[in-house]
Amino acid sequence: MIVPALIGSLPRPVGLAKKIEQYLIGRLSEEKLEEAYRAYTKKAFENLKRANIKIITDGLYRWDDIFNPLIRYIDGIEVNGLFKFYENNFFYRSPVVKGDLSLKENPIPEWIKIAQEIREEVYPEATLKAVLPGPVTLAYHSINEYYKTLDELVEAYKGVIGELMKELDVQIVELQEPALAAELSKATREVEEHVSKDVAKSAIEDLARIKKLWVVTYFGTPQVIPKGVILNVDLVEGELPEGVEGEVGLGIVNARETKMERADRLRDKLRKYMNRFEKIYVTPNTLLDFLPESVAWRKLKLLGKLGGE
Amino acid sequence: MELPILPTSVIGSYPKPRWLLRMYKLRDLGKIPEEDFKEAVKDASVAVLREHERAGVDIPWDGEMWRSEMTEHFTSKIGGFRFYGPVRVWGNAYFNKAAAVDKLEYKEPLVLDEFLWVKENTTREIVKVPITGPYTIAEWSFNEYYPDKESFVMDLAKIINRELKTLEDHGALYIQLDEPAMLNHPDEVPLAVDAINRAVKGIKIKVGLHVCYSNYYLLADYFDDIKVTQFALEFANRQFRDMDFLKKLSNKELGFGVVDVHNPRIESVEEIVRAIKKAFEYLEPEWLYINPDCGLKLLDRKIAYQKLVNMVKAVKIVRKELEKEGKTSTEFRTLKDI
């Protein structure tokens, strides 16, 4: 069975970005900004329904990148300068780890609650995932000035994420873990240290004991295959490795190119996986942030047409 | 030609005055005549030039008032591109990322009108003309036409080369190729280098190369192969960490980024003095230019101006110290000299 699903973010609508900017310079109240977030999320859910996307996220409209604002709510972290997110013209602010990590009071559970309410109102048959950065990707993208090794940092992040996961009103948590497939780009940062595969695998499997996990990898083939999770694999820039079991997410639509794929070719591509897996989630291969909004929605509609086979 | 030692410059962009942003919006909506829009752009251009001059910058520019954005401006003037809408770069910053849908074609000069206007309106002998490089234009566009990246990039290199020749013919002395994306794919760096070298083919004036927010160790392997006179790089954003790659730089200048353009905190004069002296651990002062990390356009205009003021004040302090060693000027190096 093929189920169309969204992973990670939708492109933040320019109209919403303008509201956020107005808020940041004191020209819009917090209440009005919150109204805008809700209105745009509602519109996104209506569009996802029209596009036949069955598993959804809140589009990360409140997030600047997959790390921010979460890292602002972790004690022991300072937020540093801008770095390229892999080889994209898309940037993130980096966490600088200065001390023991622990979760601070944060609004993320409330944001998820609000998204659930909107989903219930406009698209109750959909399943909403909460999206968080995974501990391995967080560790690789941090400037570590405190923990002795990157492995220790992964463990510390795992503690924080686990704590947050418990507070989220969802059945499934999506962990953004491109670092399982793509080494931190040498184009951006010179990191000599690596996370051991065993530590990466066990950290994710430990989190999978808290809630069902959907682990999203992209920009390559995953080098770590955690068990007991839905592993999302980028079929555009990587491939499905041996050893993936259970349900699987296949990123088959290219979210970094405007050229539209043909539905018949995508179906052909999927055919060989249908014998191997009972349930396949078809997704974009990476964040839709990399596309203009209009193209992103066209790609989602295309995905939606693949469902149900 | 000689310049004062540690010449100060900018990288390119500067905050647009709010009224100009409104004019851009009105133009997008088709609510003002093109003539009025152009007049506004020209006025803003002079206002920013004066601001750079008032801050004491030796080699100014007009802050790219004529350009909506650093790639969009070029892709909108080169034939063969189309636009689908804005794509987010960071936070609430977007650009209209174009898609190549046909063979690219040089239809009209890309920045000549800006250069001529700036030249006519500045009191400085030399201005820096920033131009987005061929690899970055390709990397920051979608490709629906070319069979491979190489043919896409090299067609752009030919187009940029034509623009550089046009600028040189019209009296430009100093061009900066902006290639912030050139290290994005480590295996494609040789292609980016070839494209830059193709873009400067036959050019004799001064050419700088600006690369930012990247792993400079990758760039350092190609310092000798890239036909430019200067590398203008960002250092404040990375808090002057990991500068050892500079050991590979010889017989080329460094444009040293001393103020962070993504942080509203204004660096103190003393802090900038210390940063400049740190660069002396790697290069003789005669090979050093001082500039902000990158374009200043995302900052509040007052903050951007004060950052420039402090940068120039810091340079003046260091110049006084260098004067005691008899170092007061530096040669204006061009491609003919390397």
A185 contact B CB<8A = yes
Closest to B150 (Cα-Cα) out of B181, B195, B99: B195
DSSP 8-state symbol, B138: H
When pLDDT is cut at 50, 70 and 90, the band that residue A308 belongs to is confident
Give the three-state DSSP class for B301: helix
**The residue type at B84:** Y
Least confident of A190-194, A280-284, B2-6, B106-110: A190-194
What six digits make up the tokens of A202?
A: 């066990």
- Maximal CA-CA distance, chain A: 56
Chain A, nearest residue to B71 by Cα:
A89
Residues 6+ apart with CB under 8 A from A101: A74, A75, A76, A77, A156, A157, A159, A160
CA distance B91 to chain A (A): 5
Say yes or no to pLDDT of A50 above 70. Answer: yes
pTM for this structure? Answer: 0.90
> Which residues are A215's β-sheet partners?
A175, A231
pLDDT at A87: 86
When pLDDT is cut at 50, 70 and 90, the band that residue A84 belongs to is confident
Say yes or no to pLDDT of A213 above 70. Answer: yes
| Minimum-distance CB partner of A14 among B86, B183, B263 | B86
Helix (H) or strand (E) holding A40: helix A30-50
| Minimum-distance CB partner of A21 among B85, B92, B181 | B92
**Spatial separation of the C-alpha atoms in residues A269 and A266, rounded to whole Å:** 5
Question: Do residues A129 and A111 lie in contact, with contact meaning Cβ atoms separated by under 8 Å?
Answer: no
- Maximal CA-CA distance, chain B: 59
pLDDT at A188: 58
pLDDT at B11: 98
What six digits make up the tokens of B202?
A: 């036959």
Say yes or no to pLDDT of A189 above 70. Answer: no
Q: Give percent of chain A above pLDDT 90.
A: 89
pLDDT at B338: 77
pLDDT at A82: 79
The complex scores an ipTM of: 0.91
Say yes or no to pLDDT of A142 above 70. Answer: yes
Question: Do residues B175 and B132 lie in contact, with contact meaning Cβ atoms separated by under 8 Å?
Answer: no
Say yes or no to pLDDT of A186 above 70. Answer: no
Relative to beta strand A230-234, strand A212-216 is parallel
Mutation to test the A interface, candidates B87, B141, B148, B260, most A Cβ within 10 Å: B87
pLDDT at A13: 97
- Sign of dihedral through CA atoms B38, B43, B47, B49? positive
DSSP string for A153-216: HHHHHHHHHHHHHHT---SEEEEE-GGGTSPPPTTT--------HHHHHHHHHHHHTTSEEEEE
Helix (H) or strand (E) holding B78: strand B78-90
Closest to A151 (Cα-Cα) out of A104, A112, A191, A200: A200
Say yes or no to pLDDT of A254 above 90. Answer: yes
Question: Do residues A291 and A13 lie in contact, with contact meaning Cβ atoms separated by under 8 Å?
Answer: no
Mean of the per-residue pLDDT values of chain A: 94
In chain B, which ranges are continuous DSSP H helix? Answer: 18-28, 34-55, 72-77, 112-121, 134-139, 149-169, 189-199, 216-220, 269-279, 301-324
Relative to beta strand B253-257, strand B288-291 is parallel
pLDDT at A185: 56
pLDDT at A187: 54
Those residues of chain B whose CB sits closer than 8 Å to some CB in chain A are 84-92, 94-95, 97, 99, 139-140, 142-144, 181, 183-186, 213-215, 217-218, 237-239, 242, 260, 262-263
Question: Do residues A66 and A122 lie in contact, with contact meaning Cβ atoms separated by under 8 Å?
Answer: no
| Minimum-distance CB partner of B88 among A12, A18, A257 | A12
Do the Cβ atoms of B86 and A292 come within 8 Å?
yes
When pLDDT is cut at 50, 70 and 90, the band that residue A190 belongs to is low
Mean pLDDT of A123-127: 98
pLDDT at B214: 87
| Segment-wise mean pLDDT, segments of 10 residues, chain B, 338 residues | 96 96 93 96 98 97 95 96 95 94 98 98 95 97 97 98 98 97 93 98 98 93 97 94 94 97 95 98 97 95 98 98 97 91
What six digits make up the tokens of B153?
A: 């990039």
Chain B, nearest residue to A191 by Cα:
B215
Print burial letters for A124-135: b (CB count within 10 Å at least 16), e (below 16): eebebbbbbbbb
When pLDDT is cut at 50, 70 and 90, the band that residue A182 belongs to is confident
